[in-house]
Amino acid sequence: MSTPPKVCVLRAPGTNCDIETAHAFDLCGAESTRIHLLKLLENPSQLNDYQILCLPGGFSYGDDVGAGVIFASHLQGQLADVIGNFLAADKLVLGICNGFQVLLKAGILPGGAAGWPLKSDQSRDATLTWNTNGKYTSLWVNLGAMAPQNVFLKGIDQIELPIAHAEGRIAVSDPAIVQGWKDNQQIAMCYRAAGDAETTLQEEILPYPVNPNGSACNIAALSDPAGRVLGLMPHPERFLFATQHPQWTRLGLTGEGAGIQLFRNAVNYFE
């Protein structure tokens, strides 16, 4: 039996999904450790002991100056070198909700290792900002996977997951940015209507609640070009068991929830 991969679930003040995220990895055979950002800052080299880095959901530092901004600044500062080494190795990075906001605002996404670190005078082409409705939104959404090379999405064509965020709308500085992502297969998942036969990238923004935040081209998740980094707004750790679905009795759902597959894919990558 191969050695289970070690997962660093990196939390910060305001993170509130770290326990269930670590549990998701452990259910799939990994060995997870919840590490506080301040402890990692004391000894950045300890990150080298892990094969998977996960930034879970929540409201890091209260999102006081923008979602994920302060957390991202720490990754760009004292942790820049160890993060760079992690991205360059054959390892995986997952950012969920606030974690996705951190990855994008730190510059880990969309470029991954190729884009790290951001130069001080380099502008960001994309961000995650306030939902079109201007408020925190919590509901279940249907998603279509569009990045077959991404490790986390192996074998996933479509999936239903819950979202819970106020700043989940992807905004880009130029429509050409989205085309570049499409060409590199970096658009990992898009919101889609239930029952759609396939997922297609379209400029027309789908109406609420299909697209709950007004995200450009209905994008819900991004991948790096190598397929080893994934940032997504929905919460797969909140659908590990069928009974977590709001209609599990009506639909006759039993056993595992669909969200666990993302974590299992990550663990199986190291077999």
List the structure tokens of 39: 């402890």
CA dihedral 75, 77, 81, 87 (to 10 degrees): 30
CB of 108 closer than 8 Å to CB of 157: no
Q: Report cis status (omega within 30 of 0) of the bond before 110.
A: yes
List the structure tokens of 14: 């305001």
Place of tokens 């000894």: 43
> Can you tell me whether residue 263 is helix, strand or coil?
helix
Residue type, 189: M
Length of the chain: 271
What is the set of active-site residues? 97, 235, 237
Report how far residue 258's alpha carbon sits from residue 90's, in angstroms, rounded to the nearest whole number.
26
Residues with Cβ within 8 Å of 181's Cβ and at least 6 positions away in sequence, in order, are 110, 187, 219, 222
Range list of H helices, 122-174: none
Q: Which residues pair with 171 in a beta bridge?
A: 127
> Can you tell me whether residue 66 is helix, strand or coil?
coil
> Can you tell me whether residue 223 is helix, strand or coil?
strand
Among 60, 62, 51, 54, which Cα is nearest to 34's?
54
